Amino acid sequence: MVNSKKILIAYASGVESIGRLAQVIADGIKKVDGVSVDVKRAKDVAPDDAVSADGYAFGSHSASEYMEGELKILFEELYHVRAKVSCKPVLLFVTGHGGQVNVLEYMESAVGKFNPHWIKPDVAVEGMPGEADKAKAIGMGMKLAYGARKYEYIVA
């Protein structure tokens, strides 16, 4: 089948665990026919990359109980094109050593400005993802991909 929907995974990478989790979520997305995925550092995402995507996964580790700077900068850039990224499915993912919930709240507040179609539950992992975390992340990647396939239906 030709890939007709594209998901962008954008993550901030101060630590190894979050890049690893991004790749596992991408593995889940790839299991769904008709959906492709780009995995990028947040600092390498141009607003046009985001506008052309049909769904998103945004990830950060907990950095002093907040999202890492490069992801915050991306969210601020996307605010200017929010009408073109709104209503699309969004999954959030975090790693940390106890600060995951705080980071998720900040990310949810920032992304909420885009009026997303949330794909829940968030993926929150303690340190490096273990086997159970990976299984959940793959499942949530698949759920995000199915959400992107239904995108016209969601916004109709």
Ligand X SMILES: Cc1cc2nc3c(=O)[nH]c(=O)nc-3n(C[C@H](O)[C@H](O)[C@H](O)COP(=O)(O)O)c2cc1C
The binder of ligand X chosen from 64, 80, 153, 156 (CB under 6 A): 64
- 3-state class (DSSP) for residue 64: coil
Shortest CA distance to 9 belongs to which of 17, 20, 23? 23
Q: Which range in 12-20, 46-54, 74-82, 113-121 contacts ligand X by CB under 6 A?
A: 12-20
Indicate the residue among 46 and 128 with the shorter CB distance to ligand X: 128
User: Alpha helices of the chain — where are they, by DSSP H?
Assistant: 16-30, 47-51, 69-79, 82-85, 100-112, 131-149, 151-155
User: Binding of ligand X at residue 69 (CB under 6 A)?
Assistant: no
The answer to whether 26 and 37 have CB atoms below 8 angstroms apart is yes
User: Binding of ligand X at residue 63 (CB under 6 A)?
Assistant: yes
Question: Least Å distance between CB 93 and ligand X?
Answer: 11
Q: Residue 25 is encoded by which pair of tokens?
A: 């979520």
Distance between CA atoms of residues 127 and 94, nearest Å: 10
User: Binding of ligand X at residue 60 (CB under 6 A)?
Assistant: no
Question: Least Å distance between CB 69 and ligand X?
Answer: 10
Q: Which range in 37-45, 60-68, 74-82, 111-119 contacts ligand X by CB under 6 A?
A: 60-68
Residues near ligand X, by CB under 6 A? 14-17, 61-65, 95-99, 127-128
